[in-house]
Amino acid sequence: MKKLEEYVRSIPDFPQKGVIFRDVTSVLEDAQGLRLAIDTMQDLVKDLEFDAVVGAESRGFIFGAPIAYNCRKPLVLIRKKGKLPCETISREYDLEYGTAEIEIHRDAIRPGQKVLIVDDLIATGGTTEAMIRLIEELGGEVAGVLVLIELEGLKGRERISGYRLDAAISYPGN
């Protein structure tokens, strides 16, 4: 049986020279790879108590939905600005070349609710930190962050050091 890492396609020099892009679409496109990714991620948090799963747009939806379903928990969406139809709160965060903004429905998290954030990848931690702030602004408690891939060299774990982070795969570089 293949290891989870073997399903991830590594593309050198994308999007720029010297970067190795870790492509999760190759995991999604293989039924065994997808199953292994979901099972591995879910197993990492089997000891964690949480009331809801928050999926980050867009690949966080893909990994968060089956985990929420399997754990019989609701799935809450965090989306890019302007994509949610009801009243929202938003948070701007820095990107490598500019800024971005994400939002969540104002009524999506109840005060005291324990939340598991699920995403495909953590790099610098900017998106993850913004999600944490949104959840906490609504009175929720971040029980943990779960990702398929951690790029250790970009130090996202350090940026969210006060929170539990579980990664199915960790790469030492960028």
Q: Which residues are catalytic?
A: 59, 96
CB atoms within 10 A of CB 35: 12
Residue 174 buriedness (CB in 10 A; 0-12 / 13-18 / 19+): middle
Strands 9-12, 98-105: pairing kind: unpaired
